[in-house]
Amino acid sequence: MTSGRKVKLMTFEGLNTAPKGCVSENNYWKLIGRNGRVELDPFKCCKDDRYIDERKVLVSFEISFKSLGLCLHYENENSLWVPVTDLFEVS
């Protein structure tokens, strides 16, 4: 999956719903069904190498994380590293 591809989040971390006890601001399962665009594939450079993983891509979502009450963890607003297995490419 390469940069610029439009994707839809189908699951997050392989799950359809947040695990029991998930803190609301970290409930990224709220993004399921939302569209985004792949910003970085794992072979591009990143300031925080812990998030470089060949099975994950950085997705910039079309919806504001703040509007969903979600934390922003990365410098790219409304972006999240997502396992490619949780994504569906849309045209």
DSSP 21-85: T--GGG-GGGGTT-EEEEEE-TTS--S-GGG--TTEEEEEESS-TGGGTPPP-SSSTTEEEEEGG
CA 70 to chain centre: 12
The residues of the chain scoring below 70 in pLDDT are: 41-54
Q: Please give the pLDDT value at position 19.
A: 96
pLDDT at 41 (0 to 100): 61
Return the pLDDT at 13: 92
Contacts of 91 (CB under 8 A, 6+ apart): 6
What pLDDT, on a 0 to 100 scale, did the predictor assign at position 74? 73
> What pLDDT is recorded for position 45?
46
Question: What was the pLDDT predicted at 51?
Answer: 52
